[in-house]
Structure 1
Amino acid sequence: MDVTIYHNPACGTSRNTLALIRHAGLEPTVIEYLKDPPSREQLATMIRDAGLTVRQAIREKGTPYEALGLGDPSLGDEQLLDAMLTEPILINRPFVITPMGTRLCRPSEAVLDILPADAFSAPFVKEDGEAVLGEGGKRLV
């Protein structure tokens, strides 16, 4: 299965999502979006395919969101996309794309919705100790 993750290795949610993908026996294409941001078209497509609005795909915490005045409700999608492309840290993460769909994987276990359920046979615990998969790879959350 072809899997792509827009990843930030400094983000625990992103690391957990990547670990879940690999736990399924898949080696994804890993795009460190801070170094290699998506094109405007790719970003808009990911957001749309994930069923989100542009505003829902913006990360506020730990970003220049406030300093740039992005909370202004009069800003349209094009202006928000411009900001996200200028400052990729504003792109919420991680986005994962598989043939089964596209998700913003917050929380990380959202990736399970777009991976084959039968790919898991063992338990999985996130970095913080939260169990996501139990015996036999059964989903717990």
Structure 2
Amino acid sequence: MRTIVILLSPIFALILNIVTFDFFKKRNRREPESIVIKRERLILINITLQGILAILCQSPTAIITYLTQVYLLNIPNIYYLISNFLLFSHFGISTLITIMFLKDVRQEICGSFSGYVDHNLVKRFMKI
């Protein structure tokens, strides 16, 4: 049962992203020039990139888990390290993608760090 959940999670995430993409695509056809629609388009791109990244980064861990449980293979530790690195780096990369695409989040991060570092440096880095 656990293996089925591990293998189906990325597929479920992909299906959910396709449904979300289809919803926003239909909505974009109705009001193509609205400011809200442009913001939703950026959110859609963000969600899509995070979904693709999740599938790419979580698949090696799911495959290794499947191989070790079903076929009882002895996989070297280096492969576990690489798959765990991909799995856990996904969360940091997703956060960076969110910061890059959503201006509101960039401004909030800039406000949070402005007391600790040079404000101009943060503004230049985040292009606010």
Name the one with the larger helix percent: 2
Q: Do the structures match in fold with TM over 0.5?
A: no
TM-score computed with the length of structure 2 as normaliser: 0.28
- Specify which structure has the bigger relative contact order, considering alpha-carbon pairs within 8 angstroms and separated by 6 or more residues: 1
TM-score computed with the length of structure 1 as normaliser: 0.27
Name the one with the larger strand percent: 1
Which one has a bigger Cα radius of gyration? Answer: 2
